[in-house]
Amino acid sequence: MLRTPSPDGLRFAFGTLTVLAVKVTRWDRDAARGGMLCAPLAGLAVGVAAAAAGLLLLALGAGTLLAAVATAAVPAVLTRGLHLDGLADTADGLGSGKPAEDALRIMKQSDIGPFGVLALLFTLLAQVAALAQAYDGSWARGALAAVVSATAARLALTTAARTGVPAARPEGLGAAVAGVVPAGGALAATAAVTLAGTAAGAYLGPYDALRTALAVVCAVAVAELLLRHCVRRFGGVTGDVFGGVAETAATTALVVLVLG
């Protein structure tokens, strides 16, 4: 039976997924389960802050490109850059073409290789370009894109932490949260975020409602493809893989939101 996440789960989500001064009081599997189920709520908070930064610059007379840069920068700041770092490390591990043990060793190194640099470059360019296009449409579409992408990114973390997805290492954040979310909980979270996104998009029109729902679904689907590839290559997930999954979902959501 699926249990409602406790306050410990909320503290786990905000304390591990953001820089907000939230003390994590429990570090066990039950708290991790609640925390990963609450991950989209942490994403919602990050997305609102990102949208606020973009809208503030627009109100001060800045152009949509600068607003887009600020909107993309806020999630990086509020996560200490961990998701972007995870994306870079995952790209280096996958790009190395080496066996799992060697690839995991490469991912633990502090430096960033060429695959990681390219992944960061094109991901951030895509995010800024999509956000700028959304703000060109209207301030509301830009704000919606910021919130939806950040929430979808953390929803991808929830689905990546579901039962049956093993950890590649016995230690680290990846091992702490791997397999903690019941499959039913991951599906329920996906449905809830999709419905909420649809409702938010409906304020801009029927097409925006459909496109927002599609953005969430596509974000989770593309992140799932990366997740499965990493599990095959590394034997499981790591904290870096979670970061790569989140950034992949955020970028996918943004791209879908500006298509058509």
pLDDT value for 141: 97
Q: How far is CA 107 from the centre of its chain?
A: 19
Chain segment 194-232, per-residue pLDDT in tens: 999 999 999 999 999 999 999 999 999 999 999 999 999
Lowest mean pLDDT among 23-27, 67-71, 90-94, 212-216: 23-27
Q: What is the average pLDDT across 156-185?
A: 91
Give CA–CA dist 103/23, Å, rounded: 33
Give, in order, the Cα–Cα distances in Å from 44 to each of 39, 150, 186, 232: 9, 6, 17, 31
pLDDT value for 195: 97
Q: What is the average pLDDT across 159-163?
A: 96
Chain segment 179-188, per-residue pLDDT in tens: 999 999 999 9
**Strand, coil or helix: what is 237?**
strand
pLDDT value for 29: 87
Ramachandran category for residue 61: left, alpha or beta (phi over 0 → left; psi -120 to 50 → alpha): left
- Is the pLDDT assigned to residue 1 strictly greater than 60? no
Lowest mean pLDDT among 12-21, 64-73, 134-143, 185-194: 12-21
- Is the pLDDT assigned to residue 171 strictly greater than 90? no
Cβ atoms within 10 Å, residue 93: 30
Task: Give the pTM.
Answer: 0.94
Provide the angle, in degrees to the nearest 10, between the axes of the packed helices 139-160 and 64-78: 30
Question: For 62, how many CA atoms within 13 A lie in the half-sphere containing its CB?
Answer: 19
pLDDT value for 233: 95
- Is the pLDDT assigned to residue 97 strictly greater than 90? no
Q: What is the average pLDDT across 171-177?
A: 82
Q: What is the average pLDDT across 102-118?
A: 92
pLDDT value for 182: 95
